[in-house]
């Protein structure tokens, strides 16, 4: 599944919670209200309560669509992207480096424009991998403008809330050889269109901050 750029020019209002200048945080309701970008059918998104917290649920159902926010984020002020995620299962037997296996039970990605044309973009995709080991990275099978980075892998933490924190500047530098000072969009999804697979993911505590402290996920006081 190719990941086209987040379209520029969409007017979005009330997209984040009002916080201090050094933090952006997005509620489940806010993320559910982001525009949907369909790749092959529609991932089912809805706000649900899980472990006492309102979270965004995404069920692939052999489909693929993303919730995305077009917004410039100053990485010099808020370089750390943080979130909590949980998955119901993984996609067995996929080679995620191929087009046929480019499906993930959960992914969060950030997009950076590198020019004026729509295809002049770069994206870092943080994925919950099924087959590739945690820490592995590889170019997207459809386009070299997108790079995948496996933060979690396999079944060992399925059904568990996991907190993530990434320095987006350093990840762009490591994966593309360019240290980004800003991004122009953020998105999340669960997808199963290429291999015809299904999984459900839950997302919460998504945002950007000046601190590398991990979020406290549902059911936890430490994240």
**Average of pLDDT values for 17-35?**
82
**Can you tell me whether residue 198 is helix, strand or coil?**
coil
DSSP 158: T
pLDDT band at 21 (very low <50, low <70, confident <90, very high): low
- Using CA atoms of 196, 197, 202, 205 in order, give the dihedral in degrees to the nearest 10: -60
- Domain 23-209 grouped into CATH 2.60.120: yes
Q: Which of 62-66, 115-119, 143-147 has the highest mean pLDDT?
A: 143-147
Question: What pLDDT does 10 receive?
Answer: 33
Low-confidence winner among 9-18, 126-135, 167-176 (lowest mean pLDDT): 9-18
Quote the CA–CA distance of 16 and 35 in Å, as a whole number: 14
What pLDDT is recorded for position 17? 42
Q: Read off the pLDDT band of 13 (50, 70, 90).
A: very low
The mean per-residue pLDDT over the stretch 170-180 comes to: 95
Q: What is the pLDDT of residues 45-98, one digit of tens each?
A: 999 999 999 999 999 998 899 999 999 999 999 999 999 999 999 999 999 999
Query: Taking CA 162 as the corner, what is the angle to CA 161 and CA 168, rounded to the nearest 5 degrees?
Result: 145
Q: How far apart are CA 200 and CA 190, in angstroms?
A: 7
What's the CA gap between 61 and 42, in Å, rounded? Answer: 8
Question: Is 49 buried (19+), middle (13-18) or exposed (0-12) by CB count in 10 A?
Answer: exposed
Of the candidates 31, 35, 38, 28, the one whose C-alpha atom is nearest the C-alpha of residue 60 is 38
Residue with tokens 């296996």: 101
Q: Which residue has the higher pLDDT, 179 or 106?
A: 106
Residues 133 and 149: their CA atoms lie apart, in Å, by 10
The pLDDT of residue 186 is above 90: yes
Query: Over pLDDT 90: what percentage of the chain?
Result: 79
Give the pLDDT of residue 181. Answer: 96
Is 7 a residue whose pLDDT tops 90?
no
């Amino acid at each position: 599944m190719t990941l086209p750029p987040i379209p520029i020019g969409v007017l979005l209002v009330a997209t984040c919670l009002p916080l201090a200048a050094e933090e952006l945080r997005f509620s489940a309701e806010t993320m559910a209200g982001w525009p949907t970008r369909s790749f092959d059918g529609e991932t089912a998104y809805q706000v649900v309560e899980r472990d006492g917290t309102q979270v965004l649920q995404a069920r692939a159902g052999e489909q693929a669509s993303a919730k995305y926010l077009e917004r410039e984020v100053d990485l010099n002020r808020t370089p750390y992207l943080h979130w909590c995620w949980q998955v119901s299962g993984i996609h067995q037997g996929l080679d995620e480096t191929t087009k046929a296996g480019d499906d993930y039970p959960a992914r969060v990605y950030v997009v950076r424009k590198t020019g004026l044309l729509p295809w002049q973009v770069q994206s870092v995709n943080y994925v919950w991998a099924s087959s590739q080991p945690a820490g592995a990275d590889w170019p997207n099978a459809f386009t070299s403008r997108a790079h995948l980075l496996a933060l979690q892998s396999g079944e060992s933490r399925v059904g568990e809330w996991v907190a993530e924190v990434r320095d987006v500047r350093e990840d762009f530098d490591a994966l593309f050889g360019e240290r980004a000072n800003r991004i122009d969009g953020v998105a999340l999804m669960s997808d199963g269109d290429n291999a015809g697979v299904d999984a459900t993911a839950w997302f919460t505590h998504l945002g950007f901050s000046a601190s590398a402290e991990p979020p406290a996920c549902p059911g936890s006081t430490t994240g």
